[in-house]
Chains A and B, each alone.
Chain A
Amino acid sequence: MNHQVDLTEIAATEGGAQTDTTGLGETVYDTLWGMSDIPGRAPEGIEQVMLAEDKLYVVLAVVLIIWFGLIFLLLRTDRQLDKLEQEVEHRVPQDHDMV
Chain B
Amino acid sequence: MPVVERIVRGGTAEVNRNLYRTVRNIVLVALTGVVLAGFLIQIPRIQILEHTARNLYFHVPMWFTLMAAVLVSAYHSFRYLQTGNLIRDVRAREAALVGLVFGLLGLFTGMVWARFTWYQGTNIWWNFDPKQSMAAVQLLIYGAYFVLRSAVEEPRQRGRIAAVYNLFAIVTVPFLLFILPRQMPSLHPGADGNPAFSEFTAPSMRWVLYPAFIAFIGLFWVIYTQRVRTSLIKLRLHGDVES
Q: Interface on A for B, CB 8 Å cutoff?
A: 53-54, 56-57, 59-60, 63-64, 67, 71, 74, 77-78, 81-82, 84-86, 88-89, 92, 94, 96-99
Contact = CB atoms under 8 A, between A and B. Distances in A.
B144 interface: no
Contacts, number: 67
B51 A56 contact: yes
Interface in B225-243: 226, 229-230, 233, 235-237, 239-240
B229 A60 contact: no
The interface residues of chain A, by DSSP majority, are classed as helix
A57 B32 CA distance: 15
B200 to A, nearest CB: 21
A64 B24 CA distance: 18
Given A97-B8, A99-B7, A85 B226 contact: no
B184 interface: no
The interface residues of chain B, by DSSP majority, are classed as helix
A-B CB proximity, top 3 nearest: A98-B239, A60-B39, A99-B7
B194 interface: no
Q: Interface extent on B, as a size class? A: 20 to 34
Interface of B: 4, 7-12, 17, 21, 24, 28, 31-32, 35-36, 39-40, 51, 86, 222-223, 226, 229-230, 233, 235-237, 239-240
B92 to A, nearest CB: 16
A37 B133 CA distance: 52
B39 A97 contact: no
A98 B32 CA distance: 42
Given A74-B223, A88-B12, 9 more contacts: A64-B35, A74-B24, A78-B24, A86-B12, A89-B12, A92-B236, A96-B236, A99-B7, A99-B8
B52 to A, nearest CB: 11
Contacts of A81: 226, 229-230, 233
A15 to B, nearest CB: 13
A81 B8 CA distance: 18
B11 A63 contact: no
25 contacts: A53-B51, A56-B39, A60-B36, A60-B40, A63-B35, A64-B36, A67-B32, A74-B28, A74-B222, A77-B226, A78-B21, A81-B229, A81-B233, A85-B11, A85-B12, A85-B233, A86-B12, A88-B12, A92-B237, A94-B9, A97-B235, A97-B236, A98-B239, A99-B4, A99-B7
Contacts of A60: 35-36, 39-40
A78 B223 CA distance: 10
Contacts of B237: 88, 92
